[in-house]
């Protein structure tokens, strides 16, 4: 497959290390693009649910592919989220084409763009509520497994699949008031005179102009790779929401397990193992 050239690609909420992660789809997507800048906007590896007993080859291949892209000249910026908060102790590190940070302000096409994960606006990820958030995250992972079993039975019966996890997440997001989340991010961005504000966290892909009595800003959300399988791409002087289409990758399915950048396998394994400590 010929790679698409994009100026910037933003992915968030991959949740590698969990049963719900669509790692093979992520890998297919990464191998289909050639971005100048790749921004990983939080919850890439799920430290909340991480277990050294579950980190499949496809999940490891995603990390190797990112390293391969970096070695090929792509600038990779990793913005931490709440599920990979263990990395926040190492923030503000820059090594060659790699940067680790909590938030990013970057000029793209002469527009000031503010990028962060978004959990700073979510009170359930801090303090005493954090325990319940982690418990809910584990329950969500269990629901994914139940959902897979149900869909397998439905497929055998010739019926369409359902998504219990998406329904649950939609209910959670209603409780979390998505509109308030977006408005809060937009109002702060307007106050700071940014042109764009980009988040992840709530698993809700979005692109919309938010207008207030103090001004306007373009709000974007990269969605997730558990249910929506979306990313943000900047090309032809504009932002676009990309949605994964499995039919476009049918002919490359056999390639998803090919080894990638074997020279860094030990380093990646060492980092993943450290999350379980």
Summarize the confidence of residues 5-34 as an average pLDDT: 96
**Given a cut of 60, is residue 258 above it in pLDDT?**
no
Q: What is the pLDDT of residue 175?
A: 44
Residues 6+ apart with CB under 8 A from 213: none
* Of 45, 14, 17, nearest in space to 30 by CA: 14
How much of the chain, in percent, has pLDDT values that exceed 70? 72
Mean pLDDT of the 51-71 span: 91
Query: 237: buried, middle or exposed (CB in 10 Å: 19+, 13-18, 0-12)?
Result: exposed
- pLDDT tens digits along 84-143: 988 898 888 999 999 999 999 999 999 999 999 999 886 555 555 444 344 444 555 565
Confidence grade of residue 152 (pLDDT, cut at 50, 70, 90): low
Range 164-171 average pLDDT: 55
Q: Where are the domains of the chain?
A: 4-274
Buried b (16+ CB within 10 A) or exposed e, 19-46: bbbbbbbbbbbbbbbbbebbbbbbbbbb
Per-residue confidence (pLDDT) for residue 260, from 0 to 100: 41
Q: What is the reported pLDDT for 86?
A: 87
In 80-226, the DSSP E strands lie at 93-95, 98-101, 103-108, 111-116, 196-199, 206-212, 215-221
Residue-level pLDDT at 131: 44
Asked if residue 169 has pLDDT above 80, the reply is no
At 70 the pLDDT is 96
Q: Are the C-beta atoms of 122 and 132 separated by less than 8 Å?
A: no
Task: Report the 10 Å Cβ neighbour count for 114.
Answer: 20
Is the pLDDT at 75 greater than 60? The verdict is: yes
Taking Cα atoms as reference points, which of 46, 111, 143, 124 lies closest to residue 85?
A: 46
> How many angstroms separate the CA atoms of 2 and 33, rounded?
8
Q: Phi, psi (5° rounding) for residue 225?
A: -120, 40
Q: Domain 4-274, what architecture?
A: 4-Layer Sandwich (3.60)
CA-nearest of 97, 99, 111, 105 to 36 is 97
Q: Does 31 or 173 have the greater pLDDT score?
A: 31
What pLDDT digit, counting tens, does each position of 22-50 carry? 999 999 999 999 999 999 999 999 877 76
Mean pLDDT computed over every residue of the chain = 83
- Rounded to 10°, the helix 178-191/164-176 angle is 50
Residue 183 exposure: Cα atoms within 13 Å on the Cβ side: 9
CB 44 within 8 A of CB 65: no
Mean pLDDT value across residues 222-241? 97
Q: Higher pLDDT residue, 57 or 166? A: 57
- Residue 9 confidence (pLDDT): 98
Phi and psi torsions of 224, nearest 5° = -160, 175
- Angle (CA) 250 235 109, round 5°: 160
Looking at the predicted structure, is the pLDDT value of residue 156 above 80? no
């Amino acid at each position: 497959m010929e790679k698409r050239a994009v100026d910037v690609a933003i992915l968030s909420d991959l949740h590698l290390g969990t049963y719900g992660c669509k790692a093979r789809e992520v890998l297919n997507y990464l191998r289909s693009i050639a971005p100048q800048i790749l921004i990983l906007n939080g919850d890439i590896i799920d430290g909340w649910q991480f277990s050294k007993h579950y980190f499949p080859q496809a999940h490891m291949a995603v990390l190797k592919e990112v390293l391969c892209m970096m070695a090929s000249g792509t600038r990779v910026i990793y913005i931490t989220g709440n599920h990979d908060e263990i990395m926040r102790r190492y923030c503000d590190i820059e090594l060659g084409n790699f940067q680790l940070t909590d938030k990013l302000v970057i000029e793209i096409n002469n527009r000031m763009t503010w990028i962060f994960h978004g959990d700073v606006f979510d009170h359930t990820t801090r303090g005493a509520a954090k325990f319940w958030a982690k418990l809910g995250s584990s329950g969500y992972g269990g629901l994914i497994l139940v959902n897979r079993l149900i869909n397998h039975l439905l497929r055998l019966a010739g019926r369409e699949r359902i998504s219990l996890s998406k329904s649950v997440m939609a209910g959670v997001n209603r409780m979390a008031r998505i509109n308030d989340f977006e408005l809060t991010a937009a109002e702060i961005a307007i106050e700071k005179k940014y042109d764009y504000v980009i988040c992840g966290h709530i698993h809700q892909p979005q692109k919309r102009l938010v207008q207030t009595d103090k001004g306007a800003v373009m709000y974007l959300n990269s969605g997730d790779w558990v249910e929506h399988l979306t990313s943000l791409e900047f090309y032809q002087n504009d932002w676009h929401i990309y949605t994964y289409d499995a039919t476009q990758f049918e002919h490359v399915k056999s390639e998803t397990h090919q080894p990638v950048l074997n020279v860094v396998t030990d380093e990646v394994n060492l980092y993943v193992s450290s999350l379980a400590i």
